[in-house]
Amino acid sequence: MLSLKDRIYTNSAIKAPPGSKVVVAGWVHRLRVVGKICFVILRDREGLIQVVIKRDKSPQMFDEASQLKQEDVIAVKGEIVPSKASIGGVDLVAEELVVLSKTIAPLPIFPDDWEKTSLAKRLDWRFLDLRSPRNLLIFRVQDKLENAMRHFYRENGFIEIHTSKLVAEATEGGAEVFPVIYFDKTAFLAQSPQLYKQMMVIAGFERVFESGPAYRAEKHHTPRHLTEYQSIDIEMGFIEGPEDVMDMVERATLRALSEVASSYSKLVKELLDVDITLPKEVIKIKLTDACRLIEGTPTPCPSNYDISTEHEKAIGEAVANEYGTDLFFITDYPWIARPFYTMKSDDNPEFTRSFDLIYKGVEIVSGSQREHRYSKLVEQMMEKGLRPEKFSFYLEMFKYGAPPHGGAGLGLERLTMTTLGLKNIREAKLLPRDPERLTP
């Protein structure tokens, strides 16, 4: 009797020596009956294999096989037989077939036909949509990106933390927060772990990182914004300037990209038609200089340097032309464009010790050195129209020994999207949330 304990994935099965007996299990990807032979392409997480069910061998098994439908779940025990025209050059000639689950309604979408289905419908039927090898690959790449970063930060002395996502005040300023009924109070979903990661550095953890959800009540519909995204945040103490943070972010990002390249570049090329190439160099360019590169174009920077998406895109193209790289830092953003906790530049308080990392014309990281001097911090808070008494838990931290520090936050879906050349960030989120979507 066939046992699922003996099951191997299809990618191992197609490599098994001819004559070996194997057990595979998965979904019916395609089915074809030709005379007395039934051909089933079986799909599992790792690939496809052609199963051949011959009437001569067992009429009963043949009858059962010919009634299968796409996406039924089956297990097969059989013999690996060379077959030039088949996937991987082999067939699995069935000796036993077990039907584990039958589809009981017509398929609303077809996993291998994802291109013909609108993104909205695909997201409505996400579990079927994700059965497409191409769509599953997006999340295997994402898993690689996140874990490469996790390993990198651990190796560099960062401690992983998990901070509360229920907060009393908006941290990043602005009105983009979700209120939550919290007993007899109103709380908010955290826009970022900003204040808490700073707290842990000041608490003496020195270097911390967190990969967790961040919530932004961004009402606008764009291909780059979700209302819930995964933020990979770092914060580090005893820095001399924002360059120390940039260095860490750069190395983590390159590490993540190179791990994806070495594990998945072939599959990504095959299923997404994208080359994962590592940038030769990651440059740093001051925002004012970056703006000079797009002077005289249809989208020049505004005079206050509060740049938007279209400027980032234009700067991305200009930098690629000028310096031959699509991964670079823009530094020294204006004070008006950054949150209250950002340290201002020494030479010009209109600018800040801050940076963004731009990849293929899209912002994937924002970071800065933080203001750690109590009186300056209070001043800056008031300048931004925030009420210091609302942030007393935070401000207290700066009265009892706060080292110079800085950090950054990276959007995991933004990185996935840019790495894989996806047109919409929703494709890079298992269960995207936007102003219209709360299900599945």
Choice among 126, 224, 255, 437 that is catalytic: 224
Q: Alpha-carbon distance 213 to 409, whole Å?
A: 11
Q: Write the DSSP symbol of residue 301.
A: P
Whether the Cβ atoms of residue 92 and residue 395 lie closer than 8 Å to each other: no
Interface mask (CB under 6 A) for ligand ATP, residues 411-430, using x and -? x-xx----------x-----
Q: Residue from 114, 229, 335, 394 that binds ligand ATP (CB under 6 A)?
A: 229
198/366 with CB nearer Mg ion: 366
Whether the Cβ atoms of residue 384 and residue 173 lie closer than 8 Å to each other: yes
If binding means CB under 6 A, how many residues of this protein chain bind ligand ATP? Answer: 17
The answer to whether 363 is a known catalytic residue is yes
Q: Which does 319 bind (CB under 5 to 8 A by kind): Mg ion, ligand ATP, none?
A: none
Tell me how far, at minimum, the Cβ of 411 lies from Mg ion, in Å: 9
Which listed range, 44-52, 187-195, 291-299, 358-366, lies at the site for Mg ion (CB under 5 A)?
A: 358-366
Choice among 146, 172, 259, 363 that is catalytic: 363
State the DSSP string of 193-229. Answer: SHHHHHHHIIIII-EEEEEEEEE----S--TT--SEE
Instruction: Tell whether residue 432 is a contact of ligand ATP (CB under 6 A).
Output: no
Using CB under 5 A as the binding rule, the residues of this chain from 27 to 46 that contact Mg ion are none
Interface mask (CB under 5 A) for Mg ion, residues 120-139, using x and -? --------------------
Which listed range, 263-271, 286-294, 346-354, 405-413, lies at the site for ligand ATP (CB under 6 A)?
A: 405-413
Using CB under 6 A as the binding rule, the residues of this chain from 323 to 382 that contact ligand ATP are 363-366
The answer to whether 131 is a known catalytic residue is no
Instruction: Tell whether residue 216 is a contact of ligand ATP (CB under 6 A).
Output: yes
- As to burial, measured by CB atoms within 10 angstroms (0-12 exposed, 13-18 middle, 19+ buried), residue 314 is buried
**Residue showing the smallest CB distance to ligand ATP in the complex:** 411
The answer to whether 216 is a known catalytic residue is yes
Cβ-based neighbours of 16, under 8 Å, separated by 6 or more: 8, 22, 80, 90
Q: Which residues pair with 27 in a beta bridge?
A: 43, 73
Omega before 440 within 30 of 0, i.e. cis? yes
Which listed range, 1-9, 70-78, 323-331, 408-416, lies at the site for ligand ATP (CB under 6 A)?
A: 408-416
Q: Residue from 135, 231, 253, 342 that binds ligand ATP (CB under 6 A)?
A: 231
Q: Alpha-carbon distance 356 to 223, whole Å?
A: 19
Residue with tokens 């709380």: 187
Degrees to nearest 5, angle at CA 169 with 229 and 215? 10
Q: Residue from 129, 146, 172, 259 that binds ligand ATP (CB under 6 A)?
A: 172
Q: Alpha-carbon distance 340 to 284, whole Å?
A: 23
Radius of gyration of the chain (CA): 27
- As to burial, measured by CB atoms within 10 angstroms (0-12 exposed, 13-18 middle, 19+ buried), residue 321 is exposed
Which listed range, 259-267, 274-282, 309-317, 360-368, lies at the site for Mg ion (CB under 5 A)?
A: 360-368
Query: 174: left (phi > 0), else alpha (psi -120 to 50), else beta?
Result: left
Q: Alpha-carbon distance 138 to 159, whole Å?
A: 27
80/170 with CB nearer ligand ATP: 170
**Residue showing the smallest CB distance to Mg ion in the complex:** 366
Whether the Cβ atoms of residue 435 and residue 221 lie closer than 8 Å to each other: yes
425: nearest Cα among 438, 412, 437: 412
What 3-state class would DSSP assign to 162?
coil
The answer to whether 218 is a known catalytic residue is yes
Q: Which residues pair with 51 in a beta bridge?
A: 40, 92
Q: Alpha-carbon distance 64 to 304, whole Å?
A: 71
Q: Which does 414 bind (CB under 5 to 8 A by kind): ligand ATP, Mg ion, none?
A: ligand ATP
132/366 with CB nearer Mg ion: 366
Q: Alpha-carbon distance 201 to 159, whole Å?
A: 10
Whether the Cβ atoms of residue 190 and residue 223 lie closer than 8 Å to each other: no
Instruction: Tell whether residue 368 is a contact of Mg ion (CB under 5 A).
Output: no
Name the packing angle between helices 242-272 and 133-155 (round to 10°).
160
Q: Which residues pair with 408 in a beta bridge?
A: 234, 367
Using CB under 6 A as the binding rule, the residues of this chain from 278 to 297 that contact ligand ATP are none
197/225 with CB nearer ligand ATP: 225
Choice among 192, 231, 345, 366 that is catalytic: 366
Choice among 218, 228, 243, 317 that is catalytic: 218
Tell me how far, at minimum, the Cβ of 174 lies from Mg ion, in Å: 12
Q: Residue from 354, 366, 418, 419 that binds Mg ion (CB under 5 A)?
A: 366
Residues found near ligand ATP in the complex (CB under 6 A): 172, 216, 218, 225-226, 229, 231, 363-366, 409-411, 413-414, 425
List residues with catalytic annotation.
Answer: 216, 218, 224-225, 363, 366, 414
Report the interface residues with Mg ion, using CB under 5 A. Answer: 366
